[in-house]
Structure 1
Amino acid sequence: MLIELESDAFRVPKIVLHEGLNVVIGDASAANSIGKSTVLMIVDFVFGGDSLLELNDDIVRNVGEHEYRFTFRFYEKLYYFKRATKNKEFVDVCDSSYVSVRTISLSDYTSWLMDVYATSKSELSFRAMVGPYSRVWPKENVTNVHRPLHAVPRQSAGDCIETLIKLFGRFNEVQQSSAIFSKAETERKIWRKAEGLDYVPKINKKDYLANEVELELISDEVAEIKKDLAQYALNLRAIVDREVMDLAQDKDLLLRERSKVQQRLSRTQQNLHSNKHVNSSQLESLKEFFPDVQVDKIVRIEEFHSAVARLLKQELTNTEKSLESQLSSLDVAIAQVNAKVATRLSDYENPNVIVDRVYHLSEKWQGLKGANRNYEKSSSLDLAYKEAKQDLEMIKQKVLDEIAAKINAELAKLVSEIYGQGASAPKLTLSQNSYKYEILDDTGTGTAFANLVLFDLAILSLTDLPFLVHDLPLFKNVENDAVAAFIVEYTKFSTKQIFTVLDEIEKYGQTTVEVLRRRCILELTEQDVLYKVKWRSR
């Protein structure tokens, strides 16, 4: 545990800490900016945090670069360290006089903290374990009352829930299923990517079933050839006729398409070559019967129609060329089919046709079979992914339900001790990627902050979490009697540490004041501030 904290920048050279509750006491006037929260930020800094320098940049600006020296005691052995504001990514391992022996990275230092504090080895980092429960203003987890698992708001709920599972030492139960799911998910993604890049042909279930029918027909035909090869060798006409029939069907489709194209071409050419314009001689003849007709206006209208007609003619010309091209392509395709038919009919007496037919069937069978194997592989990957996901969700939800049940039971116990029998306890509900923490029908501010304190007490009681850091804003809206009861709960933890701040302590009653005085590690007032340099009045 942390037993000593000192700095040349402090007004009081050394702060001595102890097991259980450690209280920084403010004055009766609740003076601000005297260093109460800063002490807790420094404790967080000693435990590997960075918020002191990120959120309190006025300290270095006014005090200058400085260092904090601190001592831990574990199993009667003392460990000495120091960490400077200038090189916050490193920690010095020291001798008993705080002379540096060697320098280690902050990561190595927090790994050491994890080793000495956690009795059961989890998959957590030290900061992931303690960060959510170090609630010091202006860190956002002080006021995020309905998200007690979040160290910072930007964390996903899923990550917070996984951290909770690890904190309770239950991650090994989920890990194997999680690994199976990750493998299934990765294999499925790789296969999908291969399909997307056309490295693997993709077919749907309808295609798969159609291929199965076609494969059966091919198998039947090959079996028929094998069964009576001698008959086929003597009479090739059946094989040839079958192929000619297939070609005839292809030709029929081509001829139908050619007929459609020919009809469209004829209509286009008819529209292209027809002339429906009115000429001037016809208009002059019109005046003989209608002397008052305005010929000029009719001429202008006719000129507009002529302009439109020219545009339409261009479009029709382009369409004519396109259709003639299509017609030519179809004629070539029909000619090719006719040539194949002629070739097959000439092969009546050629035994190579058997080999050609079997080769063609084999090639087609391989293609269809390969496509269906890919479909079966894809379906198998989908099924493995679905089953792995379901198994993981089932195991994970079981673990989460059991963790939530433990926390809720502890919350109910705490509420009963603090508020009395019958009082409503907050409830934690956990799911795979979300959670809720609330009391139904009570949305008061004081209740919300009290619930946050209760939650942390439950976690401290149920897990290897080594300490809590609770800043003054957590208590400002909570009833005095409830705060006094929280102090009693804090004192029950004799092997762990709680660091907190309170001011105006007389309002909590004489008994509580006596406890706070015994547990006081530092008292600050408007005159006696934390640092030697006082800049509040500047």
Structure 2
Amino acid sequence: MLIYIECDWFTEKRITFKEKLNIVVGDRANSNSIGKSTLLKIIDFIYGGDTLITHGKDVPEALGHHSYIFKLRLDKEYVFERNTGTPTLLHVHGADGSKREMGTTEYLEFLQLHYTNEIEDLSFRSIVSLVTRVWGRDNLDVRRPLHNFSQESGSQCIEWLIKVFKQFGPLEDLSIRQTNLLTEQKSLNAAAKQSIIPKITKTKYNKNQEDIATHETRLDNIRKEISSLAMSINELIDEAVLEQKTQKNQLLEIKMSLASELERVKANLENNKNISKRSFQPLLEIIPSLNLEKLDTIESFHNGLTRILRKEIKAKEQELTEQLSLIDTQIAECNAAIAKALKNSGNPAFIVDSVIDISLELSKLSKENELYDKFIKLKKDAKELKDKLKELKSGILRKIEDNLNTDIAGLVNFIYGEMRASPKLELMPEKYSYEIPKDTGTGKAYSNLILLDTSLLRHTTIPFLVHDSILFKNVENKAIENVLHVYQSLRQQSFISLDGEIVESKSAKLLVESCAVVYLNADKLLYTKDWRAQENKVQAE
């Protein structure tokens, strides 16, 4: 539990906390900027959050960067220090006055070990962040109370809830298998999109099946034709011949491409001819004033460029000719290798070529269909796994939903002292809804976040909650008093802020006094420095 927080800028240098309910009490006038919400942000800060930095920039801007020293009682008592100027680094205070540096990653692992170790697969921050509802944060949407931030998906919220209830175990294996299947699907689709592997349609698949049957029939016929020579078809199309044939086909394609490029280069050479001065004579007859010397100078410049280009084109022609010569040599080597392999076969070369071509085509078609079958199987397996996961998850969610809704209904009856409509949480595998009663105003709508969070803490081991005064706006005093009793009944610590006009009713006075950790008002701020006047001046300007 949190024992105390100290800061040199605090009006009360040390604020000490209680084992269960802790109330930051504001004044009757509901004064703004007195420090109620800021203290709750500081609590978030000392537990590894950044709300004080991201949503409370006015504090370090007004005070400069400063430290908070705090004590936690866990397996023993620990004293830490965190500074707003170096939020990624903490210091552990030793009993002898020494200090040891600790990064936030190590610190959050420390908190997870001591606070949330029973909740697997969730970090400490992801567990406590949702129920830390402070003004300025993104988790105050009364109709999406399981969203820690607005861009979070419904399925992520559902998974968080299942894990917090420690019900993720039965789903983990299926979830891992589903992730692996989807990853494999994604990889294959990406490879197909880049034309690394073929991806065919059902129509092409059926056509391939017909072609495969036709090719196999042709191979059978060839086997029968050469059986009289007592030769096995496997001897004719051994691996070496297949490899050489494949290489030869590739070389022929390259040769065709190079030859085409060489023809274009030769055509460019033919088109790059010089124009002589004599070529301008016919123009002189038409335009007597024509300056032949100037035209000749311009053409000389163009001819210079042409000579440079011709030189480059000739070099390209030479390069392509040499490449073609090399390709021809390699093709000849392939032909020689094939001939050598077939030297003693005693069979016509066209038979062997035919067998090789058919075998290559068979291999290509078979590979296409095998990949098609793999795509189909992956899709089928993924769907079956998704349906199974959905069914199992739905069963788990029904139990969680029933427990929470039953508990929330009981809390509503206790808080308001009468039968009232209560909010209903509906949980689905990929989304959820939180239906608020139609007659609920703004204040009571926020109070439904209190109902959900307190019910969550009653059913799970979430270590604490933080609720700002906005959640209590427009809720009648008697209901507030009963809400405080609910907080007080929790096993965990809770930190809330309340305005004076709410908590100064006679019936709630004793409870508030016993749980108050600090009283703040327009004359007694959280910090010794008051920058409200400066803010108001800026706004007025």
- TMscore range, shorter length: 0.7 to 0.9
- Offset of residue 96 of structure 1: 4.2
Structure 2 unaligned blocks of 5 or more: 231-346, 535-541
Tell me, yes or no, if structure 1 residue 500 matches structure 2 residue 499. no
- Offset of residue 421 of structure 1: 5.4
Tell me, yes or no, if structure 1 residue 483 matches structure 2 residue 448. no
Structure 1 Cα separation of the partners of residues 32 and 103 of structure 2: 35
- 1:45-444 alignment, distance < 5 Å: 45-75=45-75, 77-96=76-95, 99-142=97-140, 144-224=141-221, 226=223, 357-420=354-417, 422-444=419-441
Change (3 A) 1:156 1:524: same
What letter matches 2:178 in structure 1?
Answer: F
Please tell me whether the aligned partners of residues 449 and 477 of structure 1 are also in contact (alpha carbons under 8 angstroms): no
Structure 1 Cα separation of the partners of residues 356 and 47 of structure 2: 76
**Partner SS for 1:81:** strand
Structure 1 unaligned blocks of 5 or more: 234-349
- Offset of residue 379 of structure 1: 1.9
**Partner SS for 1:173:** helix
Q: Percent identity?
A: 36
Of 99-108 and 127-136, the range deviating more from structure 2: 99-108
- After TM superposition, the score normalised by the length of structure 1 is 0.72
Structure 2 Cα separation of the partners of residues 96 and 378 of structure 1: 64
- Name the counterpart of 2:268: none
Deviations 1:57-96 (A, max 9, x none): 2222322322111111124x21111111221111110024
Structure 2 Cα separation of the partners of residues 505 and 58 of structure 1: 27
What letter matches 1:514 in structure 2?
Answer: L
Change (3 A) 1:497 1:152: same
Change (3 A) 1:61 1:389: same
Please tell me whether the aligned partners of residues 69 and 81 of structure 2 are also in contact (alpha carbons under 8 angstroms): yes
**Partner SS for 1:417:** helix
Tell me, yes or no, if structure 1 residue 462 matches structure 2 residue 459. yes
Aligned mate of 1:530, from 526, 532, 535 = 526
Structure 1 Cα separation of the partners of residues 503 and 71 of structure 2: 34
Please tell me whether the aligned partners of residues 467 and 498 of structure 1 are also in contact (alpha carbons under 8 angstroms): yes
- Name the counterpart of 1:18: 18
CA RMSD of aligned residues (A): 2.5
Please tell me whether the aligned partners of residues 89 and 106 of structure 1 are also in contact (alpha carbons under 8 angstroms): yes
Deviations 1:103-157 (A, max 9, x none): 1011211211111112514111111111111111222323x11111122223233
Tell me, yes or no, if structure 1 residue 520 matches structure 2 residue 516. yes
Structure 2 Cα separation of the partners of residues 353 and 57 of structure 1: 84
Please tell me whether the aligned partners of residues 81 and 94 of structure 1 are also in contact (alpha carbons under 8 angstroms): yes
What letter matches 2:469 in structure 1?
Answer: L
Please tell me whether the aligned partners of residues 422 and 437 of structure 2 are also in contact (alpha carbons under 8 angstroms): no
Kindly tell me the number of residue pairs found equivalent between the two proteins.
Answer: 418
- Offset of residue 190 of structure 1: 1.6
What letter matches 1:151 in structure 2?
Answer: N
Of 434-443 and 410-419, the range deviating more from structure 2: 434-443
What letter matches 1:460 in structure 2?
Answer: L
Please tell me whether the aligned partners of residues 147 and 436 of structure 1 are also in contact (alpha carbons under 8 angstroms): yes
Please tell me whether the aligned partners of residues 506 and 513 of structure 1 are also in contact (alpha carbons under 8 angstroms): no
Deviations 1:132-191 (A, max 9, x none): 11111222323x111111222232333222222222222232221121111111111221
Deviations 1:219-268 (A, max 9, x none): 344445545767899xxxxxxxxxxxxxxxxxxxxxxxxxxxxxxxxxxx
Of 443-452 and 126-135, the range deviating more from structure 2: 443-452
What letter matches 2:173 in structure 1?
Answer: Q
- Name the counterpart of 2:33: 33
What letter matches 1:9 in structure 2?
Answer: W
Structure 2 Cα separation of the partners of residues 6 and 216 of structure 1: 84
- Name the counterpart of 2:308: none
- Offset of residue 359 of structure 1: 4.5
Structure 1 Cα separation of the partners of residues 68 and 384 of structure 2: 53
